[in-house]
């Protein structure tokens, strides 16, 4: 029986992670104003959020610094400049993508850095490199999490091997990531059980990172939570790539730990997120994302459809079905 049968209680171990700048940055090429970032930081503190992912450590040899805002790179100096008076209650982190991050040089020792945690993002077939990155970050003093992406396309037997390898690594948290927004709550329950076996065996925590292609990001997140997953990702106004993520305002309204407070989230949304939308920044559930989600495909075609301002949904459906 799920723990949520007891909806009025709460679990101290649950951690909420705000991924607005990182996943949301994929929507606006990381061009957030300093005011936006500072207000978001203060809102997170007031709301009781535990971890805040502020962007990527992207390799400047691969990505042009003139084409992205600074949160694509998260140089320590840029982070210090904005988060100068850090609150120890809210930990800051960056994502480091396998193959797109010069981690040996760009991630410095935690003692010299404003960053507290590193999230290594990998596919199942790049786990060995991810393990190097995890060890590197751990040796530098960070809390380390690992996102295994696109698992809806991975073989279960491969997943088991990957989880075992990560279990034996120094990683702290292993994330279930529904990259394509294609998974249903029942599938999340099965996957969570698989991940939690590793967690129990090796003393790790499990996390959930959902996408909203089928309007299930929040439902899948609370499903995972009820199954025993403790680290829960959310973003303000569900801002994130394509159909977006689990909305922070939904998640904090659901969690019963009195440390969480939804009102600062609503204040931030009214001040900043509505403005972004009026400026034409577009994300969130729409028919083209439903289609790629239902077909268990990467959302890149749907993102292009959105960017091109297309409205010929049925034509698009025929295109993506033809890709299968």
Binding interface with its own copies (CB under 8 A): 2, 4-5, 7, 184-187, 190, 212, 214-219, 222-223, 226, 247, 249-250, 253-254, 262-263, 266-267, 269-270, 274, 287, 290-291, 294, 311-314, 317
Comparison of 153 and 294: residue with beta carbon closer to its own copies = 294
- What single DSSP character describes residue 65? T
Which is nearer to its own copies, 20 or 212 (by Cβ)? 212
DSSP assignment letter at 64: -
Minimum separation from the CB atom of position 322 to its own copies (A): 13
Rounded least distance, CB 289 to its own copies, Å: 11
**Shortest Å distance, C-beta 279 to its own copies:** 15
Closest CB to its own copies among 4 and 154? 4
Q: How far is the CB of 271 from its own copies (least distance, A)?
A: 9
Residue number with CB closer to its own copies (4 or 159):
4
Token readout for 281 is 């920044």
Strands 205-209 and 117-122: unpaired
Closest distance to its own copies from the beta carbon of 72 (Å)? 29
* Residue with tokens 């503190």, as numbered in its chain: 45
- Name residue 235's beta-bridge partners: 247
Q: Measured between alpha carbons, how far is 208 from 130 in angstroms, rounded to an integer? A: 18
- Coil, strand or helix at 121: strand
Tokens, residue 267 = 């204040």
Token pair 């998640």 is found at 251
Q: Rounded to 5 degrees, what angle do the CA atoms 72, 18, 159 make?
A: 85
Q: How many CB atoms lie within 10 A of CB 322?
A: 7
Q: Give the Cα separation of 16 and 255 in Å (integer).
A: 10
CB of 46 to its own copies, least distance (A): 13
Question: Which CB, 145 or 235, lies closer to its own copies?
Answer: 235
Closest CB to its own copies among residues 129, 153: 153
């Amino acid at each position: 029986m799920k723990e949520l049968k007891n909806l009025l209680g709460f679990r101290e171990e649950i951690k909420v992670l705000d991924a607005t700048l990182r996943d949301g940055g994929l929507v606006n090429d990381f061009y957030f104003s300093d005011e936006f970032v500072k207000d978001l930081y203060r809102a997170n503190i007031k709301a009781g959020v535990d971890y805040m992912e502020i962007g990527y450590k992207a390799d400047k040899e691969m990505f042009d610094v003139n084409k992205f805002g600074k949160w694509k790179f998260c140089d320590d100096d840029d982070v210090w400049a904005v988060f100068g008076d850090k609150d120890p209650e809210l930990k800051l982190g960056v994502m480091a993508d396998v193959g797109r991050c010069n981690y040996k040089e760009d991630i410095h020792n935690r003692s010299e850095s404003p960053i507290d945690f590193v999230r290594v993002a990998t596919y199942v077939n790049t786990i060995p490199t991810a393990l190097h990155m995890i060890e590197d970050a751990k040796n530098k003093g960070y809390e380390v999490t690992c996102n295994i992406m696109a698992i809806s396309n991975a073989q279960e037997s491969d997943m088991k091997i990957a989880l075992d390898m990560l279990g034996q690594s120094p990683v702290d948290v292993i994330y279930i990531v529904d990259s394509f927004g294609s998974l249903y709550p029942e599938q999340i329950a099965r996957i969570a059980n698989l991940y939690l076996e590793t967690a129990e065996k090796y003393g790790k925590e499990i996390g959930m990172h959902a996408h909203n292609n089928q309007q299930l990001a929040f439902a899948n997140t609370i499903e995972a939570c009820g199954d025993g997953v403790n680290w829960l990702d959310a973003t303000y106004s569900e801002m994130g790539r394509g159909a977006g993520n689990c909305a922070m305002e939904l998640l904090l309204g659901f969690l019963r730990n009195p440390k969480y407070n939804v009102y600062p989230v609503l204040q931030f949304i009214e001040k900043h997120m509505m403005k972004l939308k009026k400026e034409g920044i577009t994300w969130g559930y729409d028919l083209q994302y439903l289609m790629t989600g239902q077909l268990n495909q990467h959302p890149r075609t749907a993102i292009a459809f959105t960017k091109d301002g297309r409205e010929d949904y049925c034509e698009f459906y025929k295109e993506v079905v033809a890709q299968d």
